[in-house]
Structure 1
Amino acid sequence: MKSPERNNQLNEGEATIVVDSKGIIQSISGQACQLFQLDNVESGMLLTQVIPNLDISTIHPGNVIQHYGRDANGDQFPLFLRKNQFTLNGNEFELLTLHKNTNNHSMTDMEPQKIVKEMLDIKYALDESTIVAITDQTGKIKYVNDKFCQISKYTKEELIGEDHRIINSGHHSKEFIRNLWRTIANGKIWRGEIKNKAKDGTYYWVDTTIVPFLNDQGKPHQYLAIRNEITEHKRVVEELEKSMQELVDLKLALDESSIVAITDKRGRITYANDRFVQISKFSREELIGNTHAIINSGYHPRSFFKDLWKTIGTGNVWKGEIRNKAKDGTYYWVDTTIVPFLDEKRKPYQYLAIRSEVTKRKRVEEELKHTLTRIINVQEEQRKKLSREIHDGIGQNLYSHLITINRLSAELDHPLVEQMLEETTDLIQEVRDFSWELRPSVLDDLGLIPAIRSFLKRFSENYHIDVLFDCSLTQRLHNNTEITIYRIIQESLTNVRKYAKTDQASVVIREMEGIVRVTIEDKGIGFDEDKLDSGVGLISMEERARSVDGELQIKSTPGKGTYVILEVPL
């Protein structure tokens, strides 16, 4: 055994102690003597005299552990030590390398009371904030805190001694559980989310961290599981995932069935689906970044698009039919719905346009419209011809008979002659009225306004209904348009006479921007619009309006009268 004086030359090196298999110190460096404040080392001195309560056999070679030493004055201090083994002359020796724990300067930090207090504080903090369980190396529960009992709805007595299968929900696969055990059994920390089942059958989710506690051989001897309940979070996430999936499904359905485009607030295309590319015959690269002017057919007036942008720019949905032009010059029609997406200030930041191609339907409608127009024109021509024949034929013959009867009455005073005179006069008036109803000659000879004035005069005289007429029209219209306006006024006032039960009505014609608006109003009994039957008269008016690209509206309120509004383009 070297004396401390002879070991002074080692003071600048590491603090080391060599002990034999019996724990007797065989050699001690000067640095170690300084560490323990030893002036001399007696032969046969045991290691436990300077490092109490240390079982050196439990230390794994190469591992660093924290312990405490005792100096010559009996004061304890913390230190770190590492063990290495070697054999000399057939004998086994342990070499301990020692380092003082400089983070602690007095034994007060190592007092058992303070350590216990700190551990209790940590435990209290964990119990208040998290779900805690400790299991042995086989997974049997050794400890659970109150929050574990609260969320699992089992008592501590029901949990202690059981494994975590008692709260297994069956949600996770066997591979999931195997991977968990494989991780912690290898001394590694496992983190993840687990769905558990409480005693009452309800489910809950926990964000879990499982920490293995290792022995000196680096093998787990127990596990600490720290959990935080995330049931509400998982519910929200699942709802979001479900909503996202629904959105994905909706997008798929839209893409499969409709022409879809998204534009920014300035109208520049940011997304175009395959059907848009297919029908427009532009590539996606040609569409993205452009506005819909790239497919503008020039069919619609500026006012049409001005109204469209005014609608969606104020956050409202726009619906209508648009004629577009493909890259190859062909035209196609789309039934369009444009939905604004609004920001927190209720201002549009982008627009979703959903379209369905209606080219074939529009072609059929156009053909029907032309057919309808031809039928109406033929009808009007037949009316005109019949009116002329009645007026010039039967009317003139009746007038000749009237002259004859007048001559006869001058020569013969007989009651039958007077009766014939009255009946012939009435018959001539009826023929004239019938001829007028078929087609007033003034409409062809002088135009719409004189024809309306003449009709209203006859209407008021015959049916004792005063009709106010106000017209600001400054030009002659197309022949078909004038006939349509006349016939709709005629049919509307006929309905007033039959159903309104009023002696007043009005007809107003206004020339507006690009259109002529005709309003026929009465203050009669009105009717419930939901109960309006589509009779022959109404169908006829609607067909006539469509034949000149017009639009007919009928508005009525019981007890407040009826409006008939016709708008036709100039």
Structure 2
Amino acid sequence: MLHSTLHGKKNFSHQEIEYLSHLRFAIDQHAIVSIANAAGDIIDVNDKFCEISGYSREELIGKNHRLLKSAEHSPAFFRQMWMTIASGKVWQGEICNFNKQGQEYWVRSTIVPFLDENGLPLQYLSIRTDITYTKLAEGRLRVFRRLIETTEQAIRVSDAEGRIQYVNPAYERLLGYRSREVLGRDFVAVGTAGQQEERVSEVLKTLAEGKSWTGLLKLTRKDGSEFMSLSNLGPIMDPNTGKLANTFNMFVDYSAEIDRQQALERAVEEANEANQAKSEFLSRMSHELRTPMNAIIGFSSLMEMDDELSENNRDNVNEIIKASRHLLQLINEVLDLARVEARKVELSIEPVDCVVLVEECHSLLRPLLEKSEVSLKISLPEPFIVRADHIRLKQVLLNLISNAIKYNRRGGKVCIQGETIETTSGHFLRLHVQDTGNGIAPERMKELFRPFNRLGAEYGEIEGTGIGLVITHSLVELMGGEIGVSSELGKGSDFWIQLPAEVLPELQETTTATATATAPDQQQRRYTVLYIEDNPANIKLVTQALARLPHISLFTAHTPSLGLDLAHHHQPDLILLDINLPGMNGYQVLAELKNRTRTASIPVIAITANAMRRDIERGKQAGFAEYLTKPLDISLFLRTVNEFLERSE
């Protein structure tokens, strides 16, 4: 098309037409070609031009080349281009155009002018090559180069033999070498500190396998000083051969961070030592204070019993006893606070029935309710069972309910309610203790859980230490729960605690009855199971769980020695064993069972709160048939027990 169009122009010389003939193949195959008149109006284009510009031939013919102009180039750029063409010379360069969709594309253009008999441009032939992807790649390369040239991470690139090929400015600043001093040298010999042969060998082996290595590597600066680097070394594989082509190391000086971590560890250690010293001091002080307190309270009580004591002196003695008991309470709570802060509170997490526990608290607090003329209403759904430490949860509830009574008004009310909370973390139960007291000012809410801060109540008649809520807050968190409060001045407060719910799944109905009806002569075999555990709550839980399986007789032992004796004499079908036992731990008991002929073949299942991965692996390596962790999944527990008993048949 294009060749024939040019060939028909009478103004072209034979030489020009011959030249165009030589270009024909290249033009038709891959070039983006257009012909324009002296004013720049398009006379003809080839298919490639239409393809990249997005316009059809009909849309382009007669239009000026300015249709494709982008804002990339300055007016001076175009002036220089047209001056060159107007002088009859060929112009070559890169031009950025817009396609029909308004998107940029780049071409490398050669514009050839064809002159009339007077030597003036008559038409222009523009031959272009699409270089859009090349320009994009160059742009990315410039960005990448700028990145590695300006980053604070030192970068070193070596060939497959370890010879340094490139280092960035950060490398030069950090190690003190100029690039010309290290190029071509082995990267291990330059900058790597000595006495790290094992680590260097590990790095080289990892890179040779085509893998990355990250870790601490000691490096040496040009001046001989050493520092610890956090290095990330990696391979660059040849895409054609799949072999190692280059390696790189991106690293920073990690010395300051190591110093910071070590300082933090020392600070934590010192804090722990100080905390331990505080706990020991408080423990000793508690003992020293209790001795004189015993005498004060004891002798005051004797004086109170004296019938000849005057009324005035009796009042004085009552004040002494009252103050002494308050002081004793303070001593107890300060000691308890020290244990909580040091995280030395021993907890036994188990199912706790809050309905029963609240009733126990009600009984204990009835005298205070009557004295304060406050009524208590309990509205808990049944069942309302949480996972908590029974004793510590009782302590929490006693504190919250007694506060709701003491800081209430005469004739006021305390209401205890419960609700179910579903979160992404699981199933929880929330227990509210609501009162009709004076409430708490919003600006003082943040002071609520600070030790010895009674929010001004220390100036009133109500006794207190300002520690109870702090202990309550810490205990709830230690039991895996949350505590919160909402309050309104003049209307009262609502303290709530939220703890994980205990769900005892219903067992699926068995076919025992059907089997008995169809085969009355066949009786289900009975099994014996021995449970060695020192915690009464855990024994109670397993006893109640196995009571659902009537074909099992359960023996329990609260000491290792008793458990070994029962195992020897009764030879149970299965043994359940706790790890943390008094006198002998579970591993020692297991070893003793395996060493005895009569018990060596009995499967032993560990039931323990030691739930770390290393604990589980250790348990299985020691020879436990199965390792179940607390809190027990009752359904899984019963299924596991049944499976082992069926294997024993």
Q: TM-score, normalised by structure 2?
A: 0.37
Q: TM-score, normalised by structure 1?
A: 0.42
